[in-house]
Amino acid sequence: MNAVPPIRFAGFTDPWEQRKFSDFVFASGVKNRDSLPLQSYSVSNDRGFVPQDEQFENGGTMRDADKSMYWIVEPGSFAYNPARINVGSIGYLSTSENVIVSSLYEVFRADETCDDRFLWHWFKSPLFMKQIEMLQEGGVRLYFFFDKLLLSEIWMPGVEEQRFIGAQFDHLDNLITLHQREYDRLTVLKKALLEKMFPRDGASEPEIRFAGFTDPWEQRKLGELLFFQNGFNGSRDAFGDGIPLISVMDILSDGFITHETVRGKARLNDEETKRFSVEYGDVLFQRSSENYEDAGTSNVYLDQLVSASFGGFVIRGKKVADYDPVFIKFHLNSKSVRSQITCRAQGAQHINVSQETLSDVYVRMPEMDEQKVVGSVLLRLDSLITLHQRKLEALRNLKSSLLAKMFV
């Protein structure tokens, strides 16, 4: 059989060769019989080799284990847990120093006919999972010991092409890591700003304030800004024609709500259309949730062209006073407001908020100009977070596709 992958880089034309792992892989773990003071590592399914102190608090239950029976792992070695390899718990040691891992792990290396980075990415492909499913053994718990790995088969090109493939996946992983770090950084920054750009309980102004604004923020009740009403429980057609019907899922989605983001439709008569309408600047609240943390989660309708309706598990806050809709969205997600809503929510299996509960929630409102500045800054930050999130999704989808198409 002359097998080649669906996607191949230009310049490579030689056929790939099917090989057993026993042809190029060998066990490389050495017992730490002299109890050398090497750092203890575990192997996780998402990060590979991880220091035990990071993986488990204070080293976990293995902290006081006899380290003389641990395996010494040299740089350039692979290690995996035979009971967890089916969820991806395999690692490649890229550090410059030896480490030790539990004696439960399988530790091995590849010879010069196999590029380590090519093999590492192949281990993350669906092809390796098929080998595991065919060869693993056991009853309640399944195992994939080293002898089974040696029986596994892989199609491999020449070493030069292996290195090229491994390098491309490494580059893709680096891009994913960069966007993940930026996404995490921006998410932490947003959380901090939500705490510092809105007044804490009892304060009349926030810790962080833009130059030129000095007036105290006015305390208002939500009931002064919004007219509350429970949602529509009539006929609906999730995929047909009708008026956009805002559901809890729309409230929980990232970003603001517009008629283009709403997933459902509702068939309403003229009276229902008027009664259950949602227009620009209205606030939608989740009426019932499974935990207190999500109780009364809110979002804002920001569509100036098309009105919508709202469903039965939603409370609409109709805008009856002047405020900036972008500002109010972020303010309602601030710690001072969320804590008021969650502490007043009630229920056991389902945690509910009522119109009366929401009406009594206090907010702090600055002048309109300051509202717009605060809202625009946080909206820009949200856009950057969304940008990196979408880039991450695109890169991960690309990697998943390439893992399926660049190996045989």
Take residue 73 and report the two structure tokens written for it. 């792992």
The pTM assigned to this predicted structure is 0.83
- 158-198+366-408 adopts what CATH topology? Helix Hairpins (1.10.287)
Average confidence score pLDDT of the chain: 92
Which residue is listed with tokens 């290195």?
163
More confident residue, 77 or 239: 77
Instruction: Using the CB atoms, write b or e for 1-26: b if 16+ within 10 Å.
Output: eeeebeeeeeeeeeebeebebeebbe
- 218-365 adopts what CATH topology? Adenine-n6-DNA-methyltransferase TaqI; Chain A, domain 2 (3.90.220)
Q: How far is CA 353 from the centre of its chain?
A: 28
The yes-or-no answer to whether 17-156 and 158-198+366-408 have a common fold is no
**In which band, very low, low, confident or very high, does the pLDDT at 385 lie, cut at 50, 70 and 90?**
very high
What is the 3-state secondary structure of 11-75? CCCCCCEEEEHHHCEEECCEECCCCCCCCEEEEECCCEEEEHHHHCHHHHHHCCCCHHHCEEECC
Phi and psi at residue 134, to the nearest 5°: -75, -35
Q: Is the pLDDT of residue 184 over 90?
A: yes
Which of these CATH numbers, 3.90.220.20, 3.40.50.970, 3.40.50.1220, 3.30.1600.10, describes 17-156?
A: 3.90.220.20
Domain ranges (residues) in the chain: 17-156, 158-198+366-408, 218-365
Under a CB-based contact definition with an 8 Å cutoff, are residues 66 and 34 in contact?
A: no
pLDDT digits (tens, 9 = 90+) for 25-62: 999 999 999 999 999 999 998 889 999 888 766 555 55
| 248-274 average pLDDT score | 89
